[in-house]
Amino acid sequence: TVRLRLPSDWKENTYHPPRSTLARSSSNNDLLMRTVNLKDYPDFHLPFQNVDANGILEEQADIANMKYVHEASVLYNLRERHKKGLPYTRVGKIIVAMNPYEWFKDLYSDEWQFFYAKKLIWKEDPIQNFRICLTQLEDSNRVSYEPHVYETSSNAYCGLALEQRDQSIMVSGMSGAGKTETVKIIMKHLATVQTSHPSFSHEKREMTNKSMESEIVSKNNEDNARLKIVSKVLQSNPIFEAFGNAKTERNDNSSRFGRLTKLHFAIEKKENATLGAIKNELGIIGDNDGNKISTVPVCSLVGSSFEIFLLEKARVVSHSKNERTFHIFYQL
């Protein structure tokens, strides 16, 4: 057996050995002493925690940067970021979201949307564009900012514009994890990301924001049509939710079906330099397909569609106590 020294603020579920190996615990100088059996661990090695030179447990924005990665260290890292009001943690190219059960207004402001779009999409250097948006090669700029779901949407937009191929974003998690709200945040960012382009005027940007709240008229018929599309796509989301979401014991707005949402974009600006040449300069093996780029082309949202699957049809006629059927039947 071996005795462990753990911080006094640790909860039992933060330290989770393969089996119930806790023999006894005692307090000593505000540190919790625990005894475990080494034979219950592979190779008789205990999982190490990530500490700095002063012995203080570290918290990382990217779990891939942690020296020791195991269940206890991951849970501690997520818990510490959650306590600091940082709901997002990066795991390489994946974003882990911890539902804070409150709305952080500043975290989803226009300024932050523009920040991630400009950082990951609207680079002046086409080589740097391709490096960051498509290859995700090691780059110090990529980890110089906090992880955010806008990082995922920006990379998808960039891949769509440069590769001119369909992009997929999967949002998964347990009931109440925040999937529905995350999808809304991603959709809004993708629908309006073009407004962060350097050539987009402040007037147009204000019109786009207002179009989400009310019907407005632009002096330009083409702009007006685009604004209406963005507005309709974003405002239609709650209507579709009403037919497939319901209250459960764990979640007041639980999705009782799966949905594949498709956003359709049109590439507005064509490019000038061959994509194949950029690949060659970066040392990337691939077909010289002749696609051309100078900067990332601007893509405009032109429509949306969706497919549903695994709808919980039985909820229409029967549901558990303290739960409800679909929202639409109460809203009619």
Query: Which residues are part of a known binding site for ATP?
Result: 173-180
User: Rounded to whole angstroms, how far apart are CA atoms 180 and 19?
Assistant: 35
Cβ atoms of 117 and 192 within 8 Å: the answer is: no
Strand 25-28 with 31-36, pairing: antiparallel
Cβ atoms of 258 and 310 within 8 Å: the answer is: yes
DSSP one-letter string for 53-102: TTSPBP--SBGGG-SS-SHHHHHHHHHHHHHTT--EEEETTEEEE---SS
32 Cβ contact list (under 8 Å, min separation 6):
5, 6, 7, 8, 10, 25, 26
- Name the binding residues: 173-180
SS3 content of the chain, % helix, strand, coil (to 5): 40, 15, 40
User: Rounded to whole angstroms, how far apart are CA atoms 120 and 5?
Assistant: 42
The amino acid present at 153, given as its one-letter code, is S
Q: Which H or E run includes 302? A: strand 299-309
DSSP 51: B
User: Rounded to whole angstroms, how far apart are CA atoms 86 and 62?
Assistant: 12
Q: Which of 144, 329, 129 is nearest to 247 (CA)?
A: 329
User: Rounded to whole angstroms, how far apart are CA atoms 330 and 332?
Assistant: 6
Q: Which of 8, 37, 9 is nearest to 23 (CA)?
A: 37
Q: How far lies 222's CA from each of 79, 162, 190, 280, in Å?
A: 48, 24, 19, 38
Rg (CA), the chain: 24
